Amino acid sequence: MSNVGVADIGKRVNQGCDVNNDVLPYVWSYHLHIQWDFGCHSCYKTAMEFTYKFLAEFQPDAQKCHRMAFLTDLWNTNSVPRNESQRHQFADICTMATLPPGGPFYHSEKGFALSPTMFHKALPWMMANRPLNDKLYMFVHPNTGCQFNDLRHWSAWVGPSVSMFHALLKGCVWSSCEDEVLGCIGFNHLTPTQGYGRCYTPPSEFYLGCTMSLESHSNTSTMDCVEPADPSVV
C-alpha cells in the first residue's frame, strides 16, 4: 500500500474494492444480520425467537464467533483455520454478539457468519420463515474484504429494509484480505505495519457433493453440500 495521510481516512479506495472499475471480488462467506428497533421489547422477543428457530434448523450447537470477528475475519476461522483457506466454504455457522445501535447499523442487531454452502441452503428458508409481524429486519451481505461495497452495493434485505449509514466503512480493507486491527473503525491504516492482515488467493474451483430437496415443513427447495472425502471422485 502506498503512503497515506489523515486526509485519506474514509476516502481511499483500495485494491480490488473499486466498485466501478475492478473485477468483482471473490466471496469468502456471508453475514446474516437480524435487526430490530432499539427499546422495543416485542421486537427483541421476535428477533430472539427467530434466532432460536434458525439455529435449531441449521446448527443447534453453533459457537460464538471470536471477538470482533465480524470486522476482522473473512470466514469463521474458529471452524476452518486460516492455513486451510481452501476449505472455507465448509466452515460452521458462528453467532455474533447482540449489539446496540452503532455504525453501520441504526438498529439493535444480532448476527451469524455463514459459509457459502450454508448460505445457499439457508437463504430460501429465511425467505419462507421470516416473521410476518415486521418487527425484525434481516440484512445479508457477502464478505469479500471490501467492507463498504459488501454492505452498500452487494447486499440484500429479506423483507422490509431500514436505513443504515455506510460512510464509516469506506475504503477500509483490500479485497481478499483480513482487517488486522480494525482499520476502518480505528483509522489506523496509516503505517506499513498496521491495517492489513493476511491476504488470500481465491480458489479457482470447488469439489462438492450436492443434492437438492424439498423441505417437508416448508415450501422451499434447498441444497445440501458436503465435503467429499476424495475430491477426485466427484
Higher-pLDDT residue of 181, 100: 100
Task: Return the pLDDT at 5.
Answer: 53
- Residue 102 CB contacts under 8 Å (≥ 6 apart), including other chains: none
Whole-prediction pTM: 0.86
- The CA–CA distances, whole Å, from 29 to 45, 184, 186 equal 27, 19, 23
- Domain residues for the domain of 147 are 6-202
9: pLDDT strictly greater than 70? no
* 17 in a structural domain: yes
* 63 in a structural domain: yes
**Which residues are paired to 116 by β-bridges?**
none
* 104 in a structural domain: yes
- Phi then psi dihedrals of residue 18, to 5 deg: -85, 100
How many domains would you assign to the chain? 1
* 209 in a structural domain: no
The CATH code of the domain that includes 136 is: 3.30.70.1240
Task: Return the pLDDT at 45.
Answer: 97
Task: Return the pLDDT at 186.
Answer: 46
Q: What is the pLDDT of residues 76-128, one digit of tens each?
A: 999 999 999 999 999 999 999 999 998 789 999 999 999 999 998 899 899 98
197: pLDDT strictly greater than 90? no
* 219 in a structural domain: no
Angle made by CA atoms 10, 16, 22, in degrees to the nearest 5 = 110
C-alpha cell at 108: 439493535
Task: Return the pLDDT at 182.
Answer: 59
